[in-house]
Structure 1
Amino acid sequence: MRMLLADQGQSWKEEVVTMETWMKGSLKASCLYGQLPKFQDGDLTLYQSNAILRHLGRSLGLYGKDQQEAALLDVVNDGVEDLRCKYALLIYTNYEAGKEEYVKALPGYLKPFETLLSQNEGGQAFIVGNQISFADYNLLDLLLIHQVLAPSCLDSFPLLSAYVARLSARPKLKAFLSSPEHVNRPINGNGKQ
């Protein structure tokens, strides 16, 4: 969400919640599903990261040029979330014992995204269509955190590797990715990466 907002030149106010504040319980109790993020857009309050991403996609014209592209973006985003769930399971429940096996399986998890890129302008554009989408930001985030987990994970995926470099070089996104706000933020709540 932050990358999308920064790259699109949007301003936002973020309230960082400390674990101490969260554990007091009143904020948690006020959240629809008892979890964050919580996103306020005027009088609209949203929960769930992907609902927020899709809302921003629709609001900012980042949901494809037509219904077909929108459907394909949903497919990509759901694939990103499937892999993000596997990653979260590793990070939060089985990091020490499972990291080696996860990294070994990672090429199989990444291959569909390489395939999707190859089917769209030979991998020289975005994941779907010829304009950036909410799903591109979600995929980029996922690929960047996997490069921290396994720095060589994209070595056998030239299109994904070029995609990460290309998107990360977008001026506003590059500035955000190198900002202290981004660099100093932990990747995961438990410090594992």
Structure 2
Amino acid sequence: MPPYTIVYFPSRGRCEVMRMLLADQGQSWMEEVVTMDAWGQGTLKASCLFGQLPKFQDGDLTLYQSNAILRHLGRTFGLYGKDQQEAALVDMVNDGLEDLIRHIGQVLRNYVCRLQEEGKAQYLKELPGHLKPFETLLAQNKGGQSFIVGDQISFADYRLLDLLLNHELLFPGYLNDFPLLSAYVARLRARPKLKAFLDSPEHVNRPISARLKI
């Protein structure tokens, strides 16, 4: 049996980045899918340490909190920079992405609550400012021809890619205005194992959010 198990809702949400990372690193894992109805019954929620999913099993190690899981996988597979300085930068990028993900979560809740046109227009107006820090970091690293930090992929790259791909679903063509990020997405998508996962029905047909039904 695979050593890894992801317990989560039937969506990409907080776990698609973990799936992308594991797939690209040649790992297999099991999925325990929790429906919204099952979650609403409360039994599983009560058993979770912080009352939240995802839950991640690595052998006999049980982890909650998606960022803790990503850092654990980063350390496990050498995806945390080549030294302490790069590790600090990887953490910085990940924290910046966390801020943006929380912000877009609020936008999407408004989007679903029939404020979509106003909310979409406002978010697209703000988007260049949100993405500028990541384009700046890419530009500073070998002119945008490498990864977000250093010369090897890190868990922050998978998280950034996940966010950019989700944006592409919500706002098709938005990356046309961000040439470095557009090339970055194309470059990462071309990694053979990652490409196979991203082209798989499991990924393509998995919604961004089960709760918001998008």
Flag whether TM exceeds 0.5 (same fold): yes
Pairing partner for 2:158 from 137, 162, 185: 137
| Deviating 4+ runs (over 4 angstroms) | none
Pairing partner for 2:138 from 108, 117, 134: 117
In 2, distance between residues paired with 1:25 and 1:128? 41
In 2, distance between residues paired with 1:144 and 1:175? 15
| Counterpart in the other structure of 2:36 | 19
Q: CA deviation at 1:42?
A: 1.4
1:44-193 residue pairs with structure 2 within 5 A? Answer: 44-95=61-112, 96=116, 97-189=118-210, 190-192=212-214
* Identity across the alignment (%): 73
Q: CA deviation at 1:152?
A: 2.3
In 2, distance between residues paired with 1:181 and 1:131? 27
Secondary structure in 1 aligned to 2:174?
A: coil
Which 5+ residue runs of structure 1 have no aligned equivalent? none
Structure 2 residue identity aligned to 1:187 = I
Secondary structure in 1 aligned to 2:56?
A: strand
In 1, distance between residues paired with 2:174 and 2:100? 14
TM-score (norm 2): 0.87
**Contact kept? 1:106, 1:153, Cα under 8 Å:** no
Structure 2 residue identity aligned to 1:122 = G
Which 5+ residue runs of structure 2 have no aligned equivalent? 1-17
In 2, distance between residues paired with 1:86 and 1:12? 30
Q: CA deviation at 1:149?
A: 1.5
Q: Deviations over 1:12-71 (max 9, x none)?
A: 111111111111111010111111000011121111111101100001100000000000
Q: CA deviation at 1:153?
A: 1.9
Do residues 10 (structure 1) and 27 (structure 2) align?
Answer: yes
In 2, distance between residues paired with 1:120 and 1:151? 27
| Counterpart in the other structure of 2:7 | none
**Contact kept? 1:73, 1:128, Cα under 8 Å:** yes
**Contact kept? 1:37, 1:47, Cα under 8 Å:** yes
Coordinate RMSD, CA, aligned: 1.0
In 1, distance between residues paired with 2:173 and 2:110? 23
Q: Deviations over 1:150-178 (max 9, x none)?
A: 12221121110000000011000000001
Q: CA deviation at 1:128?
A: 0.3
Structure 1 residue identity aligned to 2:55 = K
Number of residue pairs matched by the alignment = 192
Q: Which has the higher strand share?
A: 2
In 2, distance between residues paired with 1:109 and 1:148? 17
**Contact kept? 1:120, 1:129, Cα under 8 Å:** yes
